[in-house]
Amino acid sequence: MTSSRGSQRVLDGRCAVVTGASRGIGRAVAEELARAGARLCVTARDPEGVRETVAALRAQGADAVGVAGSVADPAHLWEVTDRAMAAHGRVDVVVNNAGTNQPYGPLMDADPDAWRTAFTVNVEAPLRLVQCAWRAWMAEHGGVVVNVCTEGAGHVGPNVGAYGTSKAALLHLTAQLAGELGPAVRVNAVSPGLVRTEMARFVWERAEQAVAAGLPTGRIGEPRDVARAVRWLASDEASWITGADLLVDGGTRVRAAAPFGGDPDAVQRRLRYQFPGA
Ligand SMILES: NC(=O)c1ccc[n+]([C@@H]2O[C@H](COP(=O)([O-])OP(=O)(O)OC[C@H]3O[C@@H](n4cnc5c(N)ncnc54)[C@H](OP(=O)(O)O)[C@@H]3O)[C@@H](O)[C@H]2O)c1
């Protein structure tokens, strides 16, 4: 029989690369994978944020390294892969978590160059990082990819055209890669609903109660809710799952049937009238 401690260390000895890991969902994912026994290579743009995350992971007992840089820079993605290989000798898990919700606003006002940035960060970077990991390790030894998409990719909303369209492309990329890279590599997505992070602060800060009241689970998400789903998909417990999109949204899609109603449009209202950073 496996002890409860043993059964939690489902990633013992494996190496995971997590992008956007200095705060929010990515930080929670890195910590969760470390608790599961993984060795980590984490990234984000701010070097101080990367340093602080690596220190926290090490304090947790994890074997962790980090590289600062933007996922929009192809050289950074090779650097991350090389660093993981140099430090840990393998890249078993890639979590494409870094993302942008810019440019925010109506599509007719969108600068096509800024629109392209959304696709560079949210779609092209995940593909490039998987290519790096495939060439460095996964083609020969196998592995797992988890792409962090969004529940919002399943429908449209005010001001989030670039975000939603690029995340919908990431979902399609997930399915396409799952088909192309099996059986060596499994590729799945998690799609969070509203989670308490900096990126979504402009939505939840003034509307948390209204949003929570409209959800069957009665609360907005915490980063660890998503991290646990990523850990499970990354583990062998999910060995027959690939090409899937796991909604981690507190019941956002089924809220219309919730007994107490709440305000099912609370998020859309925030997206319409509140802006990131405002
Ligand atoms: N929060 C939500 O409600 C929600 C809902 C659905 C989906 N998501 C998705 O979840 C993912 C994580 O978002 P979050 O809410 O945790 O955001 P967050 O709290 O703002 O954290 C974003 C992380 O990504 C890093 N990052 C941002 N741009 C980067 C880039 N170009 N290159 C490298 N690192 C970058 C940030 O550090 P630096 O600034 O130092 O680079 C930070 O570590 C995103 O893909 C987002 O679309 C979030």
Whether 139 is in a domain gets the answer yes
Q: Rounded mean pLDDT of the chain?
A: 94
Average pLDDT over residues 81-90: 98
Structural domain of residue 211, as residue ranges? 4-250+262-273
Looking from the CA of residue 122, the nearest atom of ligand 1 is 45
Which of 121, 199, 252, 253 has most ligand 1 atoms within 8 Å of CB, for mutation? 199
Q: Is the CB of 180 under 6 A from ligand 1?
A: no
Residues making up the chain, counted from first to last: 278
pLDDT at residue 4 is higher than 60? no
Model confidence over 5-38: pLDDT tens digits?
A: 445 899 999 999 999 999 999 999 999 999 999 9
Cα(134) to centroid(ligand 1), Å: 24
Q: What pLDDT score does 219 carry?
A: 96
Q: Which of 66, 3, 64, 67 is nearest to 37 (CA)?
A: 64
Tell the residue number behind the tokens 């995971």, with chain if given.
Answer: 16
98: tokens are 């870094």
Q: Which of 94, 22, 81, 77 is nearest to 55 (CA)?
A: 22
Cα(3) to centroid(ligand 1), Å: 35
Using CA atoms, how far apart are residues 87 and 7, in angstroms rounded to an integer?
26
Whether 255 is in a domain gets the answer no
Q: What pLDDT score does 7 carry?
A: 52
Whether 125 is in a domain gets the answer yes
Cis peptide before 103 (omega within 30 of 0): yes
Whether 80 is in a domain gets the answer yes
Whether 237 is in a domain gets the answer yes
Q: What percent of the chain has pLDDT over 90?
A: 88
Q: The pTM is what? A: 0.96
Whether 210 is in a domain gets the answer yes
What's the structural domain count of the chain? 1
Whether 145 is in a domain gets the answer yes
pLDDT at residue 56 is higher than 70? yes
Identify the weakest region by mean pLDDT among 1-5, 31-35, 79-83, 171-175: 1-5
Q: What pLDDT score does 238 carry?
A: 98
Residue nearest to atom 30 of ligand 1 (CA): 70
Using CA atoms, how far apart are residues 88 and 15, in angstroms rounded to an integer?
7
Using CA atoms, how far apart are residues 273 and 262, in angstroms rounded to an integer?
19
Phi, psi of 86 (to 5 degrees): -65, -40
Confidence label for 268 from pLDDT (cuts 50, 70 and 90): confident
pLDDT at residue 261 is higher than 70? no
Q: Is the CB of 22 under 6 A from ligand 1?
A: yes
Q: What pLDDT score does 265 carry?
A: 83
Catalytic residue, chosen from 137, 163, 202, 204, is 163
Handedness of CA 149, 153, 158, 159 (dihedral sign): positive
Cα(21) to centroid(ligand 1), Å: 8
Task: Respond yes or no: is residue 273 known to be catalytic.
Answer: no
Looking from the CA of residue 196, the nearest atom of ligand 1 is 1
Residue nearest to atom 31 of ligand 1 (CA): 70
Identify the weakest region by mean pLDDT among 60-74, 158-172, 173-187, 245-259: 245-259
Confidence label for 201 from pLDDT (cuts 50, 70 and 90): very high
| Sheet (strand 39-44) strand order | 64-68, 39-44, 15-18, 93-96, 143-148, 185-192, 245-248
Average pLDDT over residues 54-70: 98
Burial level of 223, CB count in 10 A (0-12/13-18/19+)?
buried
CATH number, domain containing residue 201? 3.40.50.720
Cα(197) to centroid(ligand 1), Å: 8
Q: Is the CB of 25 under 6 A from ligand 1?
A: yes
Average pLDDT over residues 202-212: 93
| First-to-final CA distance of the chain | 53
Whether 278 is in a domain gets the answer no
